[in-house]
């Protein structure tokens, strides 16, 4: 193939070493073709990834997808704040993860860890990673802060919980959540009052959309509330618009994340 350049591995002096080197290369090629991170690729920023940092990569991509879905546009910048124990390691690769997640959510195709920075630059999107070994409330916390061209700012935070490192969204802006970032999500902001939950449930049921889970967070009684739902299928744009109208919501967004 014209796009493949093969070179000999000169460091392996025995047949066994050559075999191990060949297997390692094959595994890396398989990862690259699947769009996964190949940390030892010569054109990937970040180098070798610490085993404590690696599980954060897919979570950051999903958080970026939620962030872009809520924004409804291309952010000017996305800053990643890494707090907790993993902040002791090199977390610079998470800056590329957030770009890959954001670009994929914006509809870009075939985004990889190699081309994500270039595509993001073309769209005027930049990322930055900062670390803090202190984390309040969570062993590790990943916070994405996006700035939009209008000056509006959006924040999404997530963590990996327990031995199984279950992905969780733990806050959106100032609203605390405990939400698994499943494939299909729906977010609404509205004035807290009786009947809204039932109205949303009925409307989704009439559209044959099953609710898997629902959470509501609010600033105070009668203030602004955030409703976050996990659903079993995508919520079409016309249904989102209908929900926004019948609830008087000031924001309604359907978000679809990758696996």
62 part of a folded domain: yes
Q: What is the CATH number of the domain that holds 133?
A: 3.30.1330.90
For residues 77 and 166, membership in a common domain is answered with yes
pLDDT tens for residues 25-62?
777 677 666 666 665 565 566 567 889 999 999 999 99
* Number of domains, the chain: 3
For residues 90 and 10, membership in a common domain is answered with no
pLDDT for the residue 16:
74
pLDDT at 20 over 90: no
Q: How confident is the model at residue 245 (pLDDT cuts 50, 70, 90)?
A: very high
pLDDT for the residue 4:
72
141 part of a folded domain: yes
219 part of a folded domain: yes
49 part of a folded domain: no
pLDDT for the residue 229:
98
**Side-chain half-sphere CA neighbours of 133 within 13 A:** 3
> What is the pTM (predicted TM-score) of this model?
0.86
44 part of a folded domain: no
Q: Over range 205-221, report the average pLDDT.
A: 95
Look up the domain containing 166 and give its range.
56-179
pLDDT for the residue 222:
86
Last residue of a domain, one of 161, 179, 197: 179
Three-state SS string over the chain comes to: CCCCCCCCCCCCCCHHHHHHHHHHHHHHHHHHHCCCCCCCCCCCCCCCCCCCCCCHHHHHHHHHHHHHHHHCCCCCEEEEEEEEHHHHCCCCHHHHHHHHHHHHHCCCCCCCCCCHHHHHHHCCCEEEEEEECCCCCCCEEEEEEEECCCCCEEEEEEEEECCCCEEEEEEECCEEEEECCCCEEEEEEEECCCCHHHHHHHHHHHCCCCEEEEEEEECCCCCEEEEEEEECCCCCHHHHHHHHHHHCCCEEEEEECCC
For residues 172 and 119, membership in a common domain is answered with yes
pLDDT tens for residues 157-201?
999 998 899 999 999 998 999 999 999 999 999 999 999 999 999
pLDDT tens for residues 106-132?
998 889 888 999 999 999 999 999 999
pLDDT tens for residues 133-164?
999 889 999 999 999 999 999 999 999 998 89
For residues 198 and 160, membership in a common domain is answered with no
pLDDT at 13 over 70: no
For residues 193 and 163, membership in a common domain is answered with no
């Amino acid at each position: 193939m014209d796009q493949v350049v093969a070179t000999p591995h000169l460091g392996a002096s025995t047949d066994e070493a050559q075999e191990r080197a060949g297997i390692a290369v094959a595994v890396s090629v398989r990862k690259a073709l699947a769009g996964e991170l190949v940390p030892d690729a010569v054109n990937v920023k970040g180098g070798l990834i610490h085993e404590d940092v690696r599980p954060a990569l897919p979570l950051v991509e999903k958080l970026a997808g939620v962030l872009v879905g809520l924004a409804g546009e291309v952010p000017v910048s996305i800053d990643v704040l890494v707090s907790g124990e993993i902040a002791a390691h090199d977390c610079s690769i998470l800056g590329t993860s957030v770009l890959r997640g954001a670009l994929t959510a914006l509809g870009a195709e075939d985004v990889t860890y190699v081309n994500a920075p270039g595509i993001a630059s073309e769209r005027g999107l930049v990322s930055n990673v900062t670390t803090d070994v202190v984390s309040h409330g969570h062993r590790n916390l990943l916070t994405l802060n996006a700035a939009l061209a209008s000056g509006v700012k959006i924040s999404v935070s997530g963590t990996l919980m327990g031995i199984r490192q279950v992905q969780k969204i733990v806050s959106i802006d100032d609203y605390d959540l405990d939400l698994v970032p499943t494939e299909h999500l729906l977010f609404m902001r509205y004035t807290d009052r009786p009947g809204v939950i039932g109205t949303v449930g009925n409307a989704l049921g009439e559209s044959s959309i099953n609710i898997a889970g629902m959470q509501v967070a609010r600033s105070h009684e009668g203030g602004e509330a955030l409703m976050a739902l996990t659903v079993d299928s995508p919520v079409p744009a016309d249904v989102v618009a209908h929900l926004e109208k019948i609830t008087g919501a000031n924001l309604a967004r359907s978000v679809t994340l990758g696996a």
